[in-house]
């Protein structure tokens, strides 16, 4: 598979996406990411795709994928084209993984998480990544059990521009070290999967929560290694509780299946838009979600997205 044979890529039109995992129902933070990515793509006259990040088969909940789709539809968040699933891209992950192996950028690692934690001098980062010191980079030990395959990271800053946060730089060795691309059981890691997924779909605009900001330089590094185009990024403020703490994935669930959206969809959508700094006229309050979104797409102002998150009623 050539890097030039991707489907759906366009240098002229914005392609955004929303990529929830069917391991639980959407919540207010998910709705912010969905609405924010939808508005930025559609305001530019682009496409908005839906992908289900379903690699973590053990944690998936039966029926949750359908619940997520029905919940998005109830808010008028209609995606373009067919729904993509990570589970349908395993051959592509393997192809690009092997291309990095052939380039000498990947090595086997036999270190356990506990061993890595013991050797790490720095505290864990926001995404709970323990910096790996490259213990196995020099070659596999005799009779070593392979726990993962890691990619070699450079001793240089990875920099990028975020639409909301500005120019950001990160030293990968200090933050994560040589990070995992594939686990010992054969499961591909999120960082490689999401980079290949976005490339295959031609995604050139990634809008998501600020909780994923720390992993973005890893993804950009992989994009550069693989020769993929680099999307533009915008990381949205996180929804927080009344005390300022980040909501857990169990807080403020929004689910078609649970029935807590019916009759409250306009209210929740308006609250989300206000969280994103978009000022709706009073006459829209009683309109349908579709009408509210149509107005919001036309009048969206990215510069009004606030610097900090707040609570969103659910």
- pLDDT tens digits, one per residue of 203-225: 999 999 999 999 999 999 999 99
Neighbour-count burial for 25-63, b at 16+ CB within 10 Å, e otherwise? bbbbbbbbbbbbbbbbbbbeebbbbbbbbbbeeeebeee
State percent of the chain over pLDDT 70.
87
Mean pLDDT, the chain, whole residue set: 89
The full set of domain ranges for the chain reads 15-90+195-304, 105-190
The answer, yes or no, to whether residue 79 has pLDDT greater than 60, is yes
Calculate mean pLDDT across residues 233-256. Answer: 77
pLDDT (0 to 100) of residue 6: 44
The answer, yes or no, to whether residue 125 has pLDDT greater than 60, is no
User: From CA 17, how far away is CA 283, in angstroms rounded?
Assistant: 30
Hey, do 15-90+195-304 and 105-190 end up sharing a CATH topology, with the first three levels equal?
yes
* Band of residue 95 on the pLDDT scale cut at 50, 70, 90: very high
User: Which pTM value belongs to this model?
Assistant: 0.90
pLDDT (0 to 100) of residue 157: 96
pLDDT 10s digits, 57-70: 888 999 999 999 99
Contact 254, 31 (CB under 8 A): yes
Calculate mean pLDDT across residues 243-261. Answer: 70
pLDDT (0 to 100) of residue 128: 59
The answer, yes or no, to whether residue 11 has pLDDT greater than 70, is no
CATH number of 15-90+195-304: 3.40.50.620
CATH architecture of structural domain 105-190: 3-Layer(aba) Sandwich (3.40)
pLDDT (0 to 100) of residue 258: 73
């Amino acid at each position: 598979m050539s890097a030039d044979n991707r489907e759906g890529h366009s240098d002229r039109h914005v392609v955004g996406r929303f990529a929830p995992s069917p391991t639980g129902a959407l919540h207010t933070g998910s709705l912010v990411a969905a609405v924010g990515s939808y508005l930025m793509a559609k305001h530019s006259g682009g496409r908005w795709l839906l992908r289900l990040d379903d690699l973590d088969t053990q944690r998936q909940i039966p029926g949750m994928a359908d619940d997520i789709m029905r919940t998005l539809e109830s808010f008028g968040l209609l995606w373009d084209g067919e729904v993509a699933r990570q589970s349908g891209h395993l051959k592509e992950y393997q192809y690009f993984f092997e291309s990095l192996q052939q380039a000498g950028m990947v090595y086997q690692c036999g270190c356990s998480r506990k061993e890595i934690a013991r050797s790490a001098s720095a505290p864990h980062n926001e995404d709970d990544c323990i910096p790996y010191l490259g213990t196995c980079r020099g070659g596999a030990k005799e009779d070593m059990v392979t726990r993962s395959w890691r990619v070699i990271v450079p001793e240089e800053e990875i920099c990028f521009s975020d639409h909301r946060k500005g120019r950001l730089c990160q030293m990968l060795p200090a933050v994560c070290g040589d990070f995992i691309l594939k686990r010992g059981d054969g499961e591909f890691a999120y960082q490689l999967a999401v980079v290949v997924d976005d490339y295959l779909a031609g995604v050139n605009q990634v809008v998501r929560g600020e909780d994923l900001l720390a992993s973005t330089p890893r993804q950009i590094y992989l994009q550069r290694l693989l020769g993929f185009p680099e999307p533009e990024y915008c990381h949205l403020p996180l929804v927080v509780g009344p005390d300022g703490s980040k909501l857990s994935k169990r807080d403020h669930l929004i689910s078609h299946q649970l029935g807590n959206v019916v009759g409250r969809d306009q209210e929740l959508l308006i609250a989300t838009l206000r969280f994103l700094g978009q000022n709706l006229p009073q006459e829209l309050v009683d309109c349908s979600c579709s009408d509210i979104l149509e107005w919001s797409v036309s009048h969206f102002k990215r510069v009004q997205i606030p610097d900090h998150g707040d609570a969103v009623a659910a």
